[in-house]
Amino acid sequence: MATITQHAPGTFCWPELATTDQARAKEFYARLFGWSFDDSPSGEGQVYTMLKLGERPVGALFQMGKEQQDKPPHWASYVAVTSADETAATAKQLGGKLMMEPFDVMDVGRMAVIQDPQGAVVAVWQAKKHTGAGVLDEPGALCWTELMTSDTASAARFYTGLFGWTSEAKPMGPTTYTVFKRGEKSAGGMMGISPEMGPVPPHWLAYFAVGDCDESVAEAIMLGGQVMVPPTDVPGVGRYAILTDPQGAAFAVIGEPKKES
């Protein structure tokens, strides 16, 4: 299987988990997705864990420090950009807020963390030595990233202006689903937060591909995860579920539609 060596600007290129229990998170995801790990010191007694599918990097996780204890565990989504500085400046012009100003991550890349006008947070990555994920769209790898927001029209304007995406709204039952596109390729999706969902804050959600959605959900439950949305078929797309890991970080899995017996 091919290894990705470069991500086009506007591509979701890296998922990163901030957790309160690094050891348990590693055990959970290793058993759920078959990941292995490569730990590296990251200063002040911390360790940065590179997540690997075989020999290819698929994402990362780290234990949150004391300065982050007011935030819940979460998966961060990174988008590849040509210039982190230019993208950050554009975000401010579009009404976004910089949670972290552009900065160098040693010699591996330059990044910034942006909050959109509705409150969802996304990171941008200007690659140097580290491209991002070496694999996408395979079982155990990131395959989709989706925005849940309180104002789809405003969010569409922000992200199309920020990343040069176009947006295509499609009816999906009683709601509308928006696909962000990078040229002719899909870049990510967007849905509005409905009243039935309760007090859900705007956020980006990482989807990981799996061979069988139901089996992965059963495994996640056995490992201490919880189900937020049970396995559900989306016609023409696949069968997905939204889960939380034992520390509470939300993510989704998606596989082939369930076959009729």
User: Is the per-residue pLDDT at 260 higher than 60?
Assistant: no
Least confident of 15-19, 84-88, 231-235: 231-235
pLDDT score of 261: 44
Q: Give a yes or no: residue 155 inside a domain.
A: yes
Q: Are residues 148 and 251 in the same domain?
A: yes
pLDDT score of 1: 63
> To the nearest whole percent, how much of the chain has pLDDT over 90?
83
Query: Please, what is the average pLDDT of the chain?
Result: 94
26-34 long-range contacts (CB < 8 A, ≥24 apart) are 26/61, 27/223, 28/220, 28/223, 28/224, 28/225, 28/245, 28/246, 29/61, 29/245, 31/219, 31/223, 32/216, 32/219, 32/220, 32/223, 32/225, 33/58, 33/139, 33/140, 33/208, 33/210, 34/140
Q: Give a yes or no: residue 163 inside a domain.
A: yes
Q: Give a yes or no: residue 261 inside a domain.
A: no
Q: Give a yes or no: residue 213 inside a domain.
A: yes
pLDDT score of 218: 98
What average pLDDT does range 145-169 have in this prediction?
97
User: Do the strands 226-234 and 203-209 form a parallel or antiparallel pair, or are they unpaired?
Assistant: unpaired
Q: Give a yes or no: residue 161 inside a domain.
A: yes
E strand intervals along 150-258: 166-172, 175-182, 185-192, 203-209, 226-234, 238-244, 250-255
Q: Are residues 194 and 218 in the same domain?
A: yes
Is the pLDDT higher at 183 or at 44? Answer: 183
Q: Are residues 46 and 119 in the same domain?
A: yes
Specify the number of domains making up the chain.
Answer: 2
What average pLDDT does range 152-159 have in this prediction?
97
Task: Give burial (CB, 10 Å; 0-12/13-18/19+) of 223.
Answer: middle
Domain C-terminal end among 127, 155, 171: 127
Q: Are residues 206 and 102 in the same domain?
A: no
State the residue for tokens 């992200």: 159
Q: Are residues 117 and 165 in the same domain?
A: no
pLDDT score of 70: 77
> To the nearest whole percent, how much of the chain has pLDDT over 70?
98
Residue 48 C-alpha from the chain's centroid? 18
Confidence of residue 112 (pLDDT cuts 50, 70, 90): very high
Q: Give a yes or no: residue 171 inside a domain.
A: yes
Q: Give a yes or no: residue 87 inside a domain.
A: yes
Q: Are 212 and 255 spatial neighbours (Cβ–Cβ below 8 Å)?
A: yes
Q: Are residues 32 and 98 in the same domain?
A: yes
Phi, psi of 157 (to 5 degrees): -65, -40
Return the CATH number at 47.
3.10.180.10
What average pLDDT does range 195-213 have in this prediction?
91
User: Is the per-residue pLDDT at 259 higher than 70?
Assistant: no
pLDDT score of 49: 96
- Torsion of the alpha carbons at 156, 178, 5 and 245, rounded to the nearest 10: 100
Q: Are residues 16 and 104 in the same domain?
A: yes
User: Is the per-residue pLDDT at 153 higher than 90?
Assistant: yes
Which residues span the domain enclosing 109?
12-127
Q: Are residues 90 and 149 in the same domain?
A: no
pLDDT score of 65: 83
- Residue 233 to residues 49, 80, 153: CA-CA distances in angstroms? 33, 30, 26
